[in-house]
Structure 1
Amino acid sequence: MPLKGFLSSISGANSRGAVSKLSDAEKLAMLDDLESSGLGWFWSCDPQGNLTYLSGTIAERLDLPLDEIIGQPLSSVFVSADRDGRTKSLALMLGTHKSFSGFAVRAEKRPEGAVLRLSGQPTFTGNTFDGFRGTGWDITDEYFREEETARLAKFDSLTGLSNRHRMKGLIDSTLTAFKAAKRSCALMMLDLDKFKHVNDTLGHAAGDELLKQVSDRLKRSIEVECEIGRLGGDEFQVLIPDLDDRGELGEIAMKIITMLKQPYTLEEGRCVIGCSVGIAVAPHDGVTMDEVVRSADLALYAAKNGGRGQYRFFSGELENEAIFRRRLEENLGEAVREKQLFLKYEPIVDASTGTVRALEAHICWMHDQRGEIDEEEFASILDGSSQVTEVGTWAIREACEQAIAWPESIKVAVNVPVALFASNDFVDSVSEALTGTGLPPHRLELEVSEAVFFGDTDAVDRTLGQLFKLGVRLTLDEFGSGYSSLAYLRRAPFDAIKIDEKLVEEAEQHDSADLGLIRAIVALAGALEMDTIANGIESTQLLERLKECGVKRMEGPIYSDPVGRDVVEKELVGDNWKITPSGDRIKRSKRRTVYRRINVIHDDHSYEVVLRNLSKTGALIQGLDDVPKGTQFVVDLGGGQLAVATVIRTNGDTQGLEFEQHLIDDGSGGLCTRNRVSPYALSAAGAPLAALSPGSYHKMQGGALGQGSVPQFTYAPQARFEAA
């Protein structure tokens, strides 16, 4: 019996140490008991590595019939338990004819079964190798504990995504390898919008479940090869190798934003969040891990400050923009005290007659260095600021003070931030504003978002009841944004429902389904004797559809952008301000003033000109005299952005250009090129390998432009002066 061989080995060992007092029969019985218990077991193989003995107990545990496996190669019966395949194979270890220990294996036919640890000792007769004899023991529980510990060291325990430590290692190793191979790599930084609000109101259990659903959606929304990680809290990273096309990256980012903003169903309730995305691309925006992560962080910061729910590519100007923005946030309290804030008003119009019925107040800032900061940018600065209560209280008082001079038929609407609504003295501040200015309460409309209902239920109901007793009008703002519940309308004394602007946008893009939802909201409001307001209207076609749905009041660029106090007072003379909607007004309002110096390259010479206009398809430049139609330029927009363009119109010192490849959205209302000059190409030409600078590229070390070249065009005197 092969087991007697183990007895001989043990006896030999004992003869070199303590003298055994057990008989051979007792020793065999002890080994039999050990095998039967399953605590230890034995195996042996011949010189060819074929299994000659295996303890029956372990064969039963592995569900391996002994008669089928005896005589089979040991290396085919057992395989390494290392999932990554980095450990030597069992066949290789047997082939060395040397002892081994602690080798973890699984049954080849039972890959998900028990995990065993093998030790083996070669046996010889003289110099002749006879095979191996060995022992083994079951380490299944220990192995899975170690495996789980190793997994937790690399992966987020909540979502299963890579954790911060693993992402850091992956980004570092990928960028190092890609730098050597001259390959590109994109990094996206994601931050959830409104997640803290869900966590605070629905609880941490709901927040955890929400994060799990977010991670599942992220996996489904990104179809290219990538690695997704959760850094902690509501921050995520996405590493995408071999992609620098900003058109494709923008599409991926927009798909992520769209999927993550869809409603979530949790045990604690239904909620909607958003997502902001910052994008950096190596080597354009950085070569090392620290550079690329910092660039993506700055882009994310810019995306969040741009109004959230958008993506932003990194550019060299973002750092200065971020520094200045932080200063603005710090100076906000001083702006209130120094009376630098002022209000603009957006008309809310009767849909049937075009008559202005109310004016919605928007807060702007006349900054001593920056100039006027409009209502959209100011709102993003105020969001989350510690001054939100102070600024909101000021806005209500200021609006009441100005509205007292308007005709009795005109109301003033003021948006109430959640933090202001939840403050202890909110109702008192509203009462003081009305009393101090003499404005009748029914002429003040307070717009309250659905987010206030996620606070203390009793406190919310108490505040709404007190406002109702004051006599002010209440509008439920952003209805349809995702939190919507009929319970809000039953509980609160609202006078109007303002349909969420994003729902209005969707109705314009996807027609029937979303229009049906708007019809349902209008019908609901009618049954509850409430008005309906649609805002953000830009097209005549959408305006007519909303009228057909029965929406009673409208506002948006199609009627008017927010206007100053002087315009309001002028228009309200006569107590009958009517506005005719116009699509042309939209085009004017969306046109951005472009006035900056750029370079255009023709042959081997670079010219500095003034960029007057920019669109996806072309640009208007000024500064060169008598450039013929058909001339081709390379337009240097900075930061490695080169666009080939052809002159299609020319008039003296002004040329209209058409781009060979259209520009794309940069995620925040701007434009950028799809691709950029590769720093690897510049490095090959003699420039040091580094992230792209924001300046023009013809001046970089290694470039030949302007070195002895002869210009074919002359500068127009006035334009040359302007560009200098």
Structure 2
Amino acid sequence: MRRTQIAVVNKDTPADGRMDFRDLMTFDLKRVFDPEEIGLAESRVATFNHAPLLLAAGHLVWGITLLAQCICDSFLSQMILPILLLGLVLAADGAFAFLLRIRANLEPHIVTKGICGFIAVTGMLWLLFVSVAHAHQGMPNDQVTDQAIGVGLIIGALVAIQSPVASITNALVAIGSAALIVQDFVLTGALVVMSAAIVTYSLANSRGVIAASRRRRMLAEEARKALHFVHEFEGSGRGWFWETNHLGTLSYVSLQLADDFHCGREELLGRQFTDLLSVDTSHGAGGEEHKTLGFHLSARFPFSDVVVRAATNEDVQWSLSGNPIFDDHGRFMGFRGIGADLTEQRRTEQEISRLARFDSLTGLPNRAMMRQTLEEALRNASRRQKGCALFLIDLDRFKNVNDTLGHPVGDALLRQVADRLKTVMGNHGQVGRLGGDEFKAVLPGIVETGLLESLARTLIEQVSRPYTIEGHKISIGASVGIAIGDPGRACADAMIRNSDLALYAAKAAGRGKHCFYEQSMHSEASDRQILENDLRQALDRGELWVAYQPIVRTTGEDVCGFEALVRWNHPARGPIGPDKFIPLAEECGMIEKIGTFVLRTAVKDAATWPDPVRIAVNLSPIQFNNPNIVETISAVLNEHKLRAGRLELEITEGVFLADNSATDETFANLKALGVRLALDDFGTGYSSLGYLKKAPFDKIKIDQSFVRGAASTGSRNSAIIRAIVSLAESLGMDTTAEGVETHDDLQLIRELGVSQVQGFIFGRPGDATAAAEYASSATIEADGYSCIREPRQTLMRRAITMINGCTEEIRLRNISGMGALVECSAPVAPGTHLTLDIVGVGPVTGSVRWAQSSRFGMQFDEPFDLSRLTPKREKSSGQPVLRPWYVDRAVGE
């Protein structure tokens, strides 16, 4: 078997493929390593394929001729040896043929050496045959012998002419035979000259053949690479090739062009190129594009990047480039060029342009487009002298949707929100998306506050309606900040900043609201930013602490638990209420960190209390939706050795925003952990009854808005509380009434069957030391007012009244809408009905509820308007400070 060839590039080979004498002489005898040169060597060996036939024919013909000549002069018995030698010659020719037949398994240089060897052997045998035949003749016949030697030289030359080394071998054999057998110097000289001519011809011929083969190989390689590049270019889809003849008909087209016409390439060949394409003049007239393709083709001018459209029903566009082809005599042969498909490029450019101006998710104008719309609206407002309004819309509780249901559901929700916003806004303005869950609406020419308020309320109402996405029922809300632009004076940056401040004020007001911009919002925003920065460091500085408010059983007034409440003692501002910093913590992402701090502190303190006393900790929706919340709670309980049943987690309806399997799984894992669950602020959300049906709550906390003033005459809160208690009892849940402050409300709570009470009547929130004292006490005594007290004003007012038929001057103190504290020197019995004539205010009637020496408390028959105590002021004739001048003008028009 042929050994593995190693590719080696011959760096000494000149560019034209020619060789020097030494390399030419040894080319056929050297082992070739270059794969390209191996092919050349094998092709040279192939020229010897029919050489054995030629040798055998010449040997056979002239051998029989010599034998016949010898037989005529001798006896047949004397010709056995010549016949055997002729047989050997023919056998050598056969071996030569066999070598060439099996050469596929041999390397070319080995075959060449074998050929030279056979030429030498057959030449020697032929000369031996001739000499023996010559010796057996009856008389010398030098003419026949000379002819036989010449025939051997000629036949060998014909066989070996393609290889210089074979030619030299043949020449040496012929010259040697002439010198040894004929011994004719004239014949020998002639053979030498003839052999030199043959060898020279062989060298020249081989040199030319090798050089031509190498040039053909190089051209074939270049053609192969060019064809490969053509196929790759056509297959990439980035372009195609075309060619026409001198008549303008197609002689070559790429398959892509045929595919665009839904036909085969053969159907396009022979058709006029201009019949397939038409010039697209809609893309400008610069450069070559304003000229027709027919002009370039008829004038035989090269052209580049000419935009054309295919003569099809589809909108297919190309960019064509071409060059005229001329032969060596200057005759025009046609055009050859390339084309590129611009259809997808144009669509991509259009899509990029659209994406630069519109939101890819909702299809609404994006931030840049809305900024441009606002600036155009302000410029138009300056010309029309009529302002414009800007809505900044933020979705409430949207982040929980992404965190719990994933971004695909969140994206679907944003698309539905966008549809509702467009429906609400209608022709009043343009709605766009700024990014995330923020939207903007520009309302040019609208400044009437009534219309703006109506649009804002409708917008909030429509966005807050429930959504159904992939089987999930989702409820979110919206807050709206509104800024009105003054024509000719407002700028886009100022309106955006003002609407942003108004939006924050709407969120601070409880979300789900709208708010107009006011001048005071700038200072509030600065203060809020400072407070946010302080809050980020408050936990590390130890400024946050946990307060505990007792929860008391209504039956025995003993402490059954505490609610953990976070408090903030600011080093400069003093105590800051949770209603101010808790929403701030939710916005800046601190709520989860603060919630974890409260949980750890509360569990640690509760571990020192008696075992029956529970601790209630508020769990924010962000904490609840954390996948690690169960592990965190379990670790805290194990760390402080607190029984799980003593921990009560208070959860608001915000955790049900994403009504999915993850929420149910978290509830199940918490219950499996053994902690108690309480639904906080019951009755204030959207669908609390639906939550009770599926969530495993142990307690319902009745919101203080239903508890405070429930015992007041005419209040319907008692009926609501009674319904909640009945519902909880039927579901096997406890109830806790929040915000109980008066004895009347406490008595009503007891009568309605509420399980537990939490409020100021049993104690305000205190530190861990106070909580430990409460937890160790048997009972807590209720301490507070008998009934709810209205806000009072501490002042001194003179009044006149009739007491026991005598006119008395009295003084009023701590007056409220329901009654007043009266100082009077005359004794008055409880239940006495009096009419007080307040100086500068007028009469007011009421009854005495209690009386002491020189004082009594009076309850008014009808609510008293405290504004009557404020001195009257003349109305100002100036314009309202916060009402732009063009609003009144627009209303007037």
TM-score (norm 2): 0.43
For 1:373, which of 576, 599, 617 is the aligned residue? 576
Partner of 1:296: 499
Partner of 2:528: 325
Partner amino acid, structure 1, of 2:491: T
Partner amino acid, structure 2, of 1:575: T
CA distance in 1, matches of 2:463, 2:748: 28
Q: Deviations over 1:13-49 (max 9, x none)?
A: xxxxx99899xxxxxxx9xx99xx99889xxxxxxxx
CA distance in 1, matches of 2:763, 2:447: 39
Change (3 A) 1:171 1:341: same
Does the aligned pair in 2 maintain the 1:400–1:433 contact within 8 Å? no
Q: Deviations over 1:346-405 (max 9, x none)?
A: 676778999986543332212122332211112112215454344223323444566679
Partner of 2:871: 655
Partner amino acid, structure 2, of 1:565: G
Change (3 A) 1:487 1:561: closer
For 1:190, which of 389, 393, 403 is the aligned residue? 393
Does the aligned pair in 1 maintain the 2:381–2:488 contact within 8 Å? no
| Counterpart secondary structure, 2:871 | strand
Partner amino acid, structure 2, of 1:179: S
Partner of 1:675: 883
Q: What 5-or-longer segments of structure 1 have no aligned partner?
A: 1-17, 23-29, 42-79, 81-101, 105-112, 118-138, 506-513, 592-627, 630-647, 662-671, 682-724
Change (3 A) 1:538 1:277: farther
Q: Deviations over 1:76-101 (max 9, x none)?
A: xxxx9xxxxxxxxxxxxxxxxxxxxx
Count of residues in Structure 1 that have an aligned counterpart in Structure 2? 485
CA distance in 2, matches of 1:264, 1:187: 26
CA distance in 1, matches of 2:738, 2:476: 21
- Say whether residues 1:575 and 2:802 are aligned partners: no
Does the aligned pair in 2 maintain the 1:416–1:448 contact within 8 Å? yes
Partner amino acid, structure 1, of 2:779: D
- Say whether residues 1:259 and 2:462 are aligned partners: yes
CA distance in 2, matches of 1:144, 1:500: 59
Compute the displacement of 1:339 (Å).
2.9
Does the aligned pair in 1 maintain the 2:728–2:735 contact within 8 Å? yes
Q: Deviations over 1:546-565 (max 9, x none)?
A: 999x89468899x7799331
- Say whether residues 1:213 and 2:395 are aligned partners: no
| 1:495-506 alignment runs, 5 A limit | 495-498=698-701
- Say whether residues 1:364 and 2:572 are aligned partners: no
Change (3 A) 1:20 1:503: farther
Change (3 A) 1:333 1:168: closer
Partner amino acid, structure 2, of 1:675: R
Change (3 A) 1:542 1:114: farther
| 1:481-560 alignment runs, 5 A limit | 481=685, 493-498=696-701, 525-532=728-735, 552=754
| Counterpart secondary structure, 2:581 | helix
CA distance in 2, matches of 1:146, 1:545: 73
- Say whether residues 1:172 and 2:375 are aligned partners: yes
Compute the displacement of 1:449 (Å).
4.2
Q: Deviations over 1:96-147 (max 9, x none)?
A: xxxxxx9x9xxxxxxxx99999xxxxxxxxxxxxxxxxxxxxx999999988
Compute the displacement of 1:259 (Å).
2.6
Compute the displacement of 1:446 (Å).
1.3
| 1:6-85 alignment runs, 5 A limit | none
Change (3 A) 1:459 1:202: closer
Partner amino acid, structure 2, of 1:426: T
| Counterpart secondary structure, 1:331 | helix
Partner of 2:477: 274
Partner of 2:649: 446
Does the aligned pair in 2 maintain the 1:495–1:531 contact within 8 Å? yes
- Say whether residues 1:430 and 2:636 are aligned partners: yes
| Counterpart secondary structure, 1:213 | helix
CA distance in 2, matches of 1:245, 1:556: 47
Change (3 A) 1:140 1:465: closer
| 1:411-422 alignment runs, 5 A limit | 411-421=614-624, 422=626
Partner of 1:687: none
Change (3 A) 1:20 1:115: closer
Partner of 2:452: 249
| 1:685-704 alignment runs, 5 A limit | none
CA distance in 2, matches of 1:398, 1:348: 18
Determine which structure has the larger helix proportion and give its number. 2
Bigger mean CA offset, 323-332 vs 472-481 = 472-481
CA distance in 1, matches of 2:467, 2:513: 19
Change (3 A) 1:428 1:152: closer
Partner amino acid, structure 1, of 2:571: D
Compute the displacement of 1:157 (Å).
3.9
Compute the displacement of 1:289 (Å).
0.7
Partner amino acid, structure 2, of 1:202: L
Change (3 A) 1:274 1:494: same
CA distance in 2, matches of 1:323, 1:532: 42
Identity of aligned residues (%): 34
For 1:563, which of 756, 759, 764 is the aligned residue? 764
CA distance in 1, matches of 2:654, 2:512: 17
Partner of 1:98: none
Does the aligned pair in 2 maintain the 1:344–1:563 contact within 8 Å? no
Partner amino acid, structure 2, of 1:388: I
Does the aligned pair in 1 maintain the 2:745–2:787 contact within 8 Å? no
Determine which structure has the larger strand proportion and give its number. 1
Compute the displacement of 1:226 (Å).
1.6
Does the aligned pair in 2 maintain the 1:114–1:140 contact within 8 Å? no
CA distance in 2, matches of 1:236, 1:569: 50
| Counterpart secondary structure, 1:160 | coil
| Counterpart secondary structure, 1:565 | coil
CA distance in 2, matches of 1:285, 1:380: 37
Partner of 1:67: none
Change (3 A) 1:142 1:386: closer
Partner amino acid, structure 1, of 2:871: Q
Partner amino acid, structure 2, of 1:563: R
TM-score (norm 1): 0.52
Partner of 1:202: 405
- Say whether residues 1:181 and 2:384 are aligned partners: yes
CA distance in 1, matches of 2:606, 2:781: 15
CA distance in 1, matches of 2:875, 2:609: 50
Partner of 1:395: 598
CA distance in 2, matches of 1:198, 1:166: 27
Bigger mean CA offset, 206-215 vs 322-331 = 322-331
Change (3 A) 1:679 1:529: closer
| Counterpart secondary structure, 1:225 | coil
CA distance in 1, matches of 2:753, 2:444: 49
Does the aligned pair in 1 maintain the 2:424–2:458 contact within 8 Å? yes
Change (3 A) 1:432 1:340: farther
Measured on the aligned residues, the alpha-carbon RMSD in Å equals: 6.0
Bigger mean CA offset, 529-538 vs 274-283 = 529-538
CA distance in 2, matches of 1:546, 1:141: 74
Compute the displacement of 1:658 (Å).
9.4
Compute the displacement of 1:440 (Å).
6.2
Change (3 A) 1:502 1:296: farther
| Counterpart secondary structure, 1:165 | helix
Q: Deviations over 1:547-585 (max 9, x none)?
A: 99x89468899x779933179899997614548898845
Does the aligned pair in 2 maintain the 1:245–1:674 contact within 8 Å? no
Compute the displacement of 1:415 (Å).
0.3
Change (3 A) 1:222 1:547: farther
Q: Deviations over 1:605-650 (max 9, x none)?
A: xxxxxxxxxxxxxxxxxxxxxxx99xxxxxxxxxxxxxxxxxx978
Does the aligned pair in 1 maintain the 2:550–2:765 contact within 8 Å? no
Does the aligned pair in 1 maintain the 2:762–2:780 contact within 8 Å? no
Compute the displacement of 1:257 (Å).
2.4
Compare CA radii of gyration and give the structure with the larger one: 2
